[in-house]
Structure 1
Amino acid sequence: MRAKRGKLTTSLMLLSAVPLLTFGLIVMLITSEIIYSSLREEVRYSLGVLGTFSYRTFEVSYPGDFEMPGTVLFKGGKSLEGRDELVDDLKETSGVDATLFYGKERYLTTIIGSDGARAIGTAAETVVTDKVLGRGETYFSDHVLVNGTPYFGYYQPIRNSDQSIVGMMFVGKPRNVVMKRINTNIFMVCVSALVMIGIAIGVSYFYSRKVIDLLKKTEKFLGAVARGDLTAGLEPEILERSDELGEMSRFAVILRDSIEAMAGKDALTGLYNRRSCDVVLNSLVEKAGRENGMFSAAMGDIDYFKRINDTYGHQAGDEVLKMVAHAVAEHMEHLGFAFRWGGEEFLMVYEELDREQTFARVEKLRTVINGREMDWRGEKIRITITFGIADYGEAKNVKELIRLADARLYSGKSSGRNRTVVCCDGQDGE
């Protein structure tokens, strides 16, 4: 009997371990690529800001055009020969290497050659000079060779007052330094994933069939997250466990939240983006079909948003969007999901509520938003919003549900704005 039981335990372990290991590898690969892409973009942005700022500071100290009548470079009539502090200060304060090019050759630089001296007079790669000097564009690469060493590097053209391109400004970090940071983040994600898989296998060994059933539920959750289902969740029975399986499930939720933040949310408002909305609505449709359930959608549009942009500028418009999004997010906690639908439009999906029940809640939100004003450079911007509501009981499919909510929204817009329209007879909230 012991031998048979041991074989069964081994079989159950393999049954859970093989798909979990496979899925974990896929998640690690996908997550690693997301982390690399995100940090690469962060480095590109940071280097661009540093390059622009450092050159503008240099312009303040040395106003005027570049000229090189002999072997000495002048700017605004002042000699730049030996003025290494112009690049050394940037490296000391920010940790990045910097180079001032005249033409395609380094004139002032923190780059050190193989002989231990500054790499003055050496040239940038052809691919760099073709784009920056030839076409007048900025250039960024995560694998540009700088005097033979791979760098994350950013180049921008330098122009004289007649707009002629006379050189380049470079800022960058050695690739091995940046990759060390990136690899540390990837390593942490991989370790977390491996820990979760190890916990799952350990629990399956000690708790037999019941634990295998719980592992299948967790695997199903992770699979749904990998497919982009933001409504996926784990039962309290699993999340509240105090053993390794409960810890693994909570790690899975953290992983889901991380993936949501990286791929499923709008960068400006922090709400879910429109791409995530399709997955959520399809999941709720499936749930409603299984359980004969109900859900509703409320489409909101900030009133006179174009006027705000035209009057105060797009930066003010962005602040208005963030203020409204914050109010929407607070309101929707434990009620459902909130999305930035596009522009100044927001979509809220209420779980287990019909349109009449949703109406009361949306009216409370509308009142909260209506009571807020934003200070913008000494002026008060009053914010109001109009909503249209529909529920799944009156729609044949998701497309029809959105169409109904949208139609009622624009009915509210045409009848005066700052109201909530809940049905075709014009019932609304003032």
Structure 2
Amino acid sequence: MENTQKKSSGKISYTLQIIGLLPLLALGIAMLFFTSQWFTKTMYQEVERELYDATKSATTLLNAAYPGDYHLEGDVAYLLYKGETDITRDYSLLDQFKEDTGLDITLFYQDTRILTTLYNAQGERIVGSGAPDIVIRDVLNTGENHFYTHTLINGKAYFSYYIPLRNQDGSVVGMLFVGRPSETVSLSIQNYVYPLTWLIIGFVALVSVCIYFYTRRFVAVLLHIHSFLSEVASGNLNATLDHSVTKRSDELGDIGRCALSMQRSLRTMIEQDALTELYNRRSGDKKLRQIFEEARSSRHSFALAIGDIDFFKKVNDTYGHECGDAVLKNVSALLKQHMWRRGFAARWGGEE
């Protein structure tokens, strides 16, 4: 019986924990996924706004520092002028921009890099290289701004914003790029997602511990009720139910109290005579044997009396069986009253 209870408790406890933990785990994963997605999207939007503002600021700085239109001069080696100024190798403004903002910047004439803050592995500026085909198509050919979340430049990924450069007549003569390395944005996202991940893991672990201990207490109450009902079912009508069950104010407490009520009803049905409410002969014989064993072990004496109601048959014959039942009830009530805390009375036979 004990092994069966242990197996049952383990199975119930395991099932309850799974029922409680699976939705919690699914909720934690969903929270982590959607929160991460939301933060990633928000971060991308923030980077886009930052780069857009930076390109506008850079355009304003270029126009203020070098008034005039962009144009090429030279016969063999072309030089890029903005107004009257040769800006082909003038990196001072772009380098200052990067130092102030932490962002890389590149000026394209048509699709060729003329000025840039980007370097290759050898430490050289990557001037003279072309723009990616997708940028030429989206920006240079259409004359529209465009934001990219993954632009490969010299083997390195960037969040980038491209805007077309226009002369005063509105013609598109080149592009301006402002970008931030993708790894720095990814690091910012990770710095948010990792603490969030641990927070959700900690929350799930805490609730899991609560569920574990609650299910253990829940199953312990069920086992108390199960053990009590098993005792009653095996014939022990004097079995006791743990007080921790009956003092509960929830449904389990109600079940425990119902089990006790059932025990009392069974004891009444099995041990008491239905008419007189005295112990029946079976119960009287059982209690008598118990008293005999106790007296023999303790060497204490006890008294036994058996009697019947004289002329009881004449009462039934003269006044009817209902009157005879009333006599039995009243006599039994007197016996029970006078035997209180002194012993017990039982109905041995018809009127005995």
Does the alignment pair 1:31 with 2:38? no
Partner of 2:26: 22
Partner of 2:194: 187
**Separation in 2, partners of 1:160, 1:210:** 79
Q: In the superposition, relative to structure 1, how do residues 210 and 139 fare at CA in structure 2: closer, same or farther (>3 Å)?
A: farther
Letter in 2 for 1:148: G
**Separation in 2, partners of 1:145, 1:211:** 59
CA contact (8 A) 1:204 1:211 kept: no
Query: Secondary structure at the residue paired with 1:135?
Result: coil
Higher relative contact order (CA 8 A, sep 6+): 2
CA contact (8 A) 1:133 1:168 kept: yes
Letter in 2 for 1:85: S
Q: How far did residue 144 of structure 1 move?
A: 1.2
**Separation in 2, partners of 1:139, 1:172:** 12
**Separation in 1, partners of 2:131, 2:193:** 31
Letter in 1 for 2:44: R
Query: Secondary structure at the residue paired with 2:73?
Result: coil
Q: How far did residue 8 of structure 1 move?
A: 3.5
CA contact (8 A) 1:132 1:138 kept: yes
Letter in 2 for 1:176: E
Q: How far did residue 208 of structure 1 move?
A: 2.6
Q: Deviation digits for residues 138-197 of structure 1, max 9, x if unmatched?
A: 011101112332110000010011111111111101111111111222222222222211
Q: In the superposition, relative to structure 1, how do residues 19 and 59 fare at CA in structure 2: closer, same or farther (>3 Å)?
A: same
**Separation in 2, partners of 1:12, 1:55:** 64
TM-score by length of 1: 0.47
Partner of 1:101: 108
Letter in 1 for 2:45: E
Q: In the superposition, relative to structure 1, how do residues 207 and 172 fare at CA in structure 2: closer, same or farther (>3 Å)?
A: same
**Separation in 1, partners of 2:88, 2:143:** 25
2:158 to 151, 171, 182: 151
2:128 to 121, 134, 152: 121
Partner of 1:52: 56
Does the alignment pair 1:8 with 2:15? no
Partner of 2:167: 160
Query: Secondary structure at the residue paired with 1:73?
Result: strand
Q: In the superposition, relative to structure 1, how do residues 211 and 106 fare at CA in structure 2: closer, same or farther (>3 Å)?
A: farther
Query: Secondary structure at the residue paired with 2:15?
Result: helix
Q: In the superposition, relative to structure 1, how do residues 9 and 121 fare at CA in structure 2: closer, same or farther (>3 Å)?
A: same
CA contact (8 A) 1:157 1:169 kept: yes
Q: In the superposition, relative to structure 1, how do residues 172 and 210 fare at CA in structure 2: closer, same or farther (>3 Å)?
A: farther
Letter in 2 for 1:123: G
CA contact (8 A) 1:203 1:211 kept: no
**Separation in 1, partners of 2:119, 2:40:** 28
**Separation in 2, partners of 1:128, 1:141:** 9
Aligned residues: 212
Q: How far did residue 88 of structure 1 move?
A: 1.0
**Separation in 1, partners of 2:131, 2:217:** 64
CA contact (8 A) 1:143 1:152 kept: yes
Unaligned runs of 5+ in 2: 220-352
Query: Secondary structure at the residue paired with 2:115?
Result: strand
Letter in 2 for 1:19: P
1:80 to 87, 95, 108: 87
Query: Secondary structure at the residue paired with 2:79?
Result: coil
**Separation in 1, partners of 2:169, 2:35:** 47
**Separation in 2, partners of 1:8, 1:148:** 57
Query: Secondary structure at the residue paired with 2:141?
Result: helix
Partner of 2:278: none
**Separation in 1, partners of 2:206, 2:218:** 11
Map 1:350-365 → 2, pairs under 5 A: none
**Bigger strand share:** 1
**Separation in 1, partners of 2:37, 2:217:** 35
Q: How far did residue 20 of structure 1 move?
A: 1.0
Letter in 1 for 2:194: F
Does the alignment pair 1:134 with 2:141? yes
Query: Secondary structure at the residue paired with 1:111?
Result: coil
Q: Deviation digits for residues 227-280 of structure 1, max 9, x if unmatched?
A: xxxxxxxxxxxxxxxxxxxxxxxxxxxxxxxxxxxxxxxxxxxxxxxxxxxxxx
